[in-house]
């Protein structure tokens, strides 16, 4: 990447765009709602079970003008989900300001590991043990979505729930490859601890992106 482009990416005027697609939000509170997804490349959190490892290396995804991303998005939906990769790797200020200027709702899927930037109507925080979320993201999260790969993730879930605000909605979501094993654990746990809800990756059952 040449220096000028790197500077534009650092400012958030360009972003490494992996893919964009119109689909149904599969997970969490907005599950079932049509939304346009913008997937930004770049993540160094390193979840071994990540279902989008192709997103990790930002250099593989073309730096794309943020204004073009927004022009495209607004043709498709009034709800925009920004995901990745880890979107907070980058400065989200320009992207979200432009989305808001266009009257769109801005949602983010984030691990919360980096500085919170951008104007968000909805923050889905999915914290990871390897790189814990910042206090600022915890305080501003609208939903907390813990991925359950094994039993220890239930302990981790309570630890993270203690850090979010009291009206944050709490979800346990099975890690996809372990779903047969962990769904019974989650079901039991939610019945015993009804402040939690179950979230499934419903798009994978529907065979949609």
Ligand X SMILES: C[S@@+](CC[C@H](N)C(=O)[O-])C[C@H]1O[C@@H](n2cnc3c(N)ncnc32)[C@H](O)[C@@H]1O
Residue ranges of the annotated binding site are 24-26, 39, 43, 47, 49-51, 83, 85, 126-128, 209
Other beta carbons within 10 angstroms of residue 161's beta carbon come to: 17
Residues in the chain: 209
Binds 209: which of ligand X, ligand 2KA, ligand SF4, none (CB < 5-8 Å by kind): ligand 2KA
Query: What is the pattern of x (binds ligand SF4, CB under 6 A) and - over residues 102-131?
Result: ---------x----------------x---
Kindly tell me which of 26 and 184 has the beta carbon lying closer to ligand 2KA. 26
Q: Helix (H, G, I), strand (E, B), or coil: what is residue 108?
A: strand
Cβ–Cβ < 8 Å for 12, 38 = no
45 lies in the binding site for ligand SF4 (CB under 6 A): yes
Segment contacting ligand SF4 by CB under 6 A, of 27-35, 79-87, 95-103, 192-200: 79-87
Residues 64-83 that bind ligand X (CB under 6 A): 83
86 lies in the binding site for ligand SF4 (CB under 6 A): yes
Cβ–Cβ < 8 Å for 133, 112 = yes
Binds 46: which of ligand X, ligand 2KA, ligand SF4, none (CB < 5-8 Å by kind): ligand SF4
Tokens standing for residue 195: 């402040």
Cα 37 vs. chain centroid, distance in angstroms? Answer: 10
Kindly tell me which of 4 and 186 has the beta carbon lying closer to ligand X. 186
Query: Which among 85, 98, 94, 90 has a CA at the least distance from the CA of 115?
Result: 90
Residues 14-53 that bind ligand X (CB under 6 A): 43, 49-52
Kindly tell me which of 26 and 63 has the beta carbon lying closer to ligand 2KA. 26
Q: Three-state SS string across 175-201, please?
A: CHHHHHHHHHHHHHHHHHCCCEEECCC
* Residue 102, C-beta contacts closer than 8 angstroms, at least 6 positions apart: 70, 73, 74
Query: Which among 99, 79, 102 has a CA at the least distance from the CA of 30?
Result: 79
**Residues at the site binding ligand X, with contacts judged by CB under 6 A:** 43, 49-52, 83-84, 86, 109-111, 126, 145, 147, 173, 175-176, 201
**Residues at the site binding ligand SF4, with contacts judged by CB under 6 A:** 43, 45-47, 50, 52, 55, 84-86, 111, 128
């Amino acid at each position: 990447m040449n220096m000028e482009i790197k500077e534009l990416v650092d400012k958030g005027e360009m972003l490494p765009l992996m893919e964009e697609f119109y689909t149904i939000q599969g997970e969490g509170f907005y599950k079932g709602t049509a939304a346009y997804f913008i997937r930004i490349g770049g993540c160094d959190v390193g979840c071994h079970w990540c279902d989008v490892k192709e997103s990790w290396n930002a250099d593989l995804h073309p730096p794309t003008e943020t204004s073009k991303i927004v022009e495209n998005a607004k043709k498709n939906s009034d709800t925009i989900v920004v995901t990745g990769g880890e979107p907070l790797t980058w400065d989200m200020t320009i992207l979200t300001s432009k989305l808001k200027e266009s009257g769109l709702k801005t949602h983010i899927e984030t691990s919360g590991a980096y500085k919170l930037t951008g104007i968000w109507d909805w923050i889905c925080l999915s914290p990871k043990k390897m790189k814990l979320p910042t206090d600022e993201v915890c305080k501003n999260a609208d939903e907390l979505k813990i991925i359950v790969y094994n039993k220890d993730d239930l302990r981790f879930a309570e630890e993270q729930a203690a850090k979010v605000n009291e009206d944050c909605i709490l979800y346990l979501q099975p890690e996809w490859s372990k779903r047969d094993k962990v769904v019974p654990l989650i079901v039991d746990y939610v019945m015993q601890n009804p402040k939690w809800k179950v979230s499934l990756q419903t798009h994978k059952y529907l065979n949609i992106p």
